[in-house]
Structure 1
Amino acid sequence: MSNRVEQVLLKQSTILMFAVAVAAIVTGFFSGSQSILFDGFFSLIATVIKVLMLITAQLIAKQSNRRFQFGFWHLEPMVLLIEGSFLFLIATYAFLSGMFGIINGGREIELSLVIPFATLLSVVCFGYFFYVRYQNRTLKSSLIQFDNISWLVDAMLSIGLLTSFLVALLLKSYGYGTWAAYVDPSILILLGLSMIAPACKILKPALRDVLGIVPDQLDEDVRRVMDEVKVEHGFLDYVSYVQKHGRARFIEIHVVLPIDYQLQDVGKLDALREDISAKLGEPEITRWLTISFTGDRKWIS
């Protein structure tokens, strides 16, 4: 059920973002505003990323197969890495484009077109951002969470555009039309700088997952539980490995039992597994837990 809601939200987001992209590109072309055009191309790239996210969500919902025996969880951080990289590149482009615009003497834009568009765009982007954030309170999807960052960025872009265009209108009204020409490239510089933080917010966790860096908190939690269980059940030693790919958490634990450990039957080992599993938290479809037992240390070295 949750995956179905996730896919519906991603489909809505993709269609609406594509509509925003087309509207921004058309408005930017006829008004002569590079910042509006930039917003349109940002939205267009965001649409492509959302399509990738939707495909990823659909694959994750499928069962594993012989080729992908652990499922498709690894695709999630890869898509987020692509999104974060595009955001960072777009931010760099916006900054450089704005700098060149100022060096070249600014640019005139048709304010009667861009002000109503920026107003409407602000309402749409902020409205959809808060709607999705509310929906994700119970869904708790990382795909939806990071996807919604693009709506927040677009909303902030729209507010920045609207404020700057109103400033340009005031400058023209008071006879400072020359200075008004620098508003559009100045917006691009500010937008580029403001997008770096959201890009890094997506890139950092995605890059950790793709590179296979151990999630510190998960590793500490597993070790804490196993230290307690080791004392409680009289284990000689253990070794644990953890990994994270998107929402999927992989936990592997190998336990060394004393040679004279009392085992009436195999059910005793299953009971130990149940105890460890319960202490690690509620079992979820996103958690892959493997627990093995041995009496020879060579199997954990």
Structure 2
Amino acid sequence: MAIGFHQQNEKTLLKLSLYMAGLFVFVAFGFALTTQSGAILFDGVYSLIAFFMALLTLKVANLVQLPDDDRFHFGYTAIEPTLNLFKSLIIIVTCLYAIVGSIQSLFAGGNAAEYDLAMLYGVFATIGCFAISFYMKNRSKSLRSDLVSVDAHTWFIDGVLSASILIGFVIAYCFEQYGFADYAPYVDPLLLVILGLAILPIPCKIMLDSLKEVIHKAPPEAVTSVIEKRLKQTLAAVPYEHIEVRISKSGRDTYLLVHIIVDESFSVATVRELDSIRKKSEAAMREWNPSIIMDILFICDPELAD
């Protein structure tokens, strides 16, 4: 019941992201045509990308909840970091395109815009994007969903973008009002260059984190050491010489391959006894962290754990 509830919450949040992205696309493009602002146009393109990514994310959210089958023996959770990797690459390309285009605009004399209307858009977009980001992040705390987390980051980036655009429009408007109108056209493209460079680290970090999951790189030692310590506590009743643990995170799942090199005093009469040890250990680990999936092997020869 709890898992189903979490899945429903995840889909609700992702649908909210989809609908709001669609709204922002229409609003941004409308203001971009009215004000002739390249910064607002860029914000609209970003929202358009977010809209199509939200459609894809909803599809992936349905897939990752499916059990393993004949085509995907380990389930569909690997699609999750792959999608996040793709989304981050799209955002990076968009930022780089905006930076290059803005530099060309600067050398061409800048870009004049209707800054009074543009400021109205800036206020609406800034409040809206930060509100959605905060809401999604707050609601997703109890969910183990990288999809929602990345979406919240995407809206935060859009909020930073909109807030910076608003500040730039205020500066340009002041230039026009106080005798510096010749400098006003440079504000819009200069702002885009600064924004693009400032935003890039966020999707780059998402890209690197997602790439680590795609290639099954082990989590940081600070994470693995905690998992190993907890695992050994669940196996305290088992006489062993050493426990070798391989850990891989893929989307919302954390997979543990555990080799228990048993002591000579270890003895069981039936395989059911081994199953009982496995079940108790996995139940305790999943109670601590529901994302954990485990396979436990009992061996005598340490070389089999290599």
TM-score, reference length from structure 1: 0.91
After TM superposition, the structure 1 stretch with the greater mean CA deviation from structure 2, 71-80 or 121-130, is 121-130
Distance 1:137 1:296 in 2: 43
Task: Give CA deviations for 1:45-91 in whole Å, capped at 9, x if unaligned.
Answer: 11111112111111112222211122110001001101111121122
Q: 1:91 to 1:178 in 2, by over 3 A?
A: same
Q: Which amino acid aligns with 1:119?
A: V
Task: Give CA deviations for 1:150-185 in whole Å, capped at 9, x if unaligned.
Answer: 111111111111111111111111121101111111
The percentage of counterpart residues that share the same residue type is: 26
Q: Which amino acid aligns with 1:257?
A: V
Q: Give ranges in structure 2 of 5+ residues lacking alignment.
A: none
Alignment of 1:111 with 2:115, yes or no, is: yes
Match of 1:263 among 268, 274, 295: 268
Task: Give CA deviations for 1:202-248 in whole Å, capped at 9, x if unaligned.
Answer: 11210110122111344333544566678863324443222111111
Task: Let me know the Cα RMSD of the aligned residues.
Answer: 2.3
Aligned counterpart, 1:272: 277
Aligned counterpart, 2:161: 157
Distance 2:125 2:37 in 1: 15
Residues 144 and 252 in structure 2, CA contact (< 8 A), matched pair in contact too: no
Match of 2:79 among 68, 75, 79: 75
Q: 1:50 to 1:96 in 2, by over 3 A?
A: same
Shift of 1:147: 0.4
Distance 1:277 1:204 in 2: 30
Q: Which amino acid aligns with 1:100?
A: Q
Task: Give CA deviations for 1:237-288 in whole Å, capped at 9, x if unaligned.
Answer: 4432221111111111122334563323334323432454356452766322
Distance 1:209 1:152 in 2: 23
Aligned counterpart, 1:7: 11
Q: 1:259 to 1:134 in 2, by over 3 A?
A: closer
Q: 1:225 to 1:114 in 2, by over 3 A?
A: closer
Shift of 1:14: 0.8
Distance 1:239 1:137 in 2: 31
Q: 1:232 to 1:138 in 2, by over 3 A?
A: closer
Number of residue pairs the alignment of both structures matches: 301
TM-score, reference length from structure 2: 0.89
Matches within 5 A, 1:138-149: 138-149=142-153
Aligned counterpart, 2:208: 204
